[in-house]
Amino acid sequence: MNLKRIQDPKKRLRVYADTSVFGGCFDQEFSHNSERFFEEVRNGRHILIISDLLLLEIDDAPAQVKAILTDLPHGCTELVATTDEVALLRSAYIEAGVLPPSAMRDAGHIAFATISEVDILVSWNFKHIVHFEKIRGFNAVNLLRGYRPIEIRTPTEVTAP
């Protein structure tokens, strides 16, 4: 039996983008695909899920990086706040050895995306996030704690061809 997943073209993906995607707009290697991703957000293809952790990191970023977020039209973002549940899951990734304690913020992004049940998390962080072994670790912790697996990709894999 051949089953096809039919996606409603009007259904917007809920996508969590970490800070690396914002900064990627100003990095020669990542700028094209980061800019394409945010263009799709502006055009309504995705709903951008942002956390108070992301806002904290963006607040420390250069003005041009901040402008990417502040220039997004009303209605294309959804804000999620830190909860005890996020903090516990973030700590679980560290305790399980998926990430070192020095990567607590990266673990936080994964926890926010998991708790918020996003369709996908996008990142350019190949050391701690977009990494086969790390993704397996995040998903093992998620399953042990009753959460669904998290899809993690680069913006290149999420944007339309």
Confidence of residue 45 (pLDDT cuts 50, 70, 90): very high
Number of compact structural domains in the chain? 1
For the chain, give the percent of residues with pLDDT over 70: 94
Q: Does residue 14 fall inside a structural domain?
A: no
74, 75, 77, 81 alpha-carbon torsion, rounded to 10°: 100
Summarize pLDDT for 102-146 with one digit per residue, the tens: 999 999 999 999 999 999 999 999 999 999 999 999 999 999 999
pTM to 2 decimals?
A: 0.92
Q: Is the pLDDT of residue 7 over 60?
A: no
47 close to 76: Cβ distance less than 8 angstroms:
yes
Which among 10, 9, 76, 78 has a CA at the least distance from the CA of 38?
76
pLDDT of residue 3: 35
pLDDT of residue 124: 98
For position 134, which CATH number holds? 3.40.50
pLDDT of residue 11: 82
Q: Does residue 13 fall inside a structural domain?
A: no
Decide: helix, strand or coil at residue 137: helix
Summarize pLDDT for 83-104 with one digit per residue, the tens: 999 999 999 999 999 999 999 9
pLDDT of residue 5: 39
Q: By residue range, what is the domain housing residue 108?
A: 21-158
Q: Does residue 15 fall inside a structural domain?
A: no
Q: Is the pLDDT of residue 58 over 80?
A: yes
Give the tokens for residue 66: 């901040």
Q: Does residue 2 fall inside a structural domain?
A: no
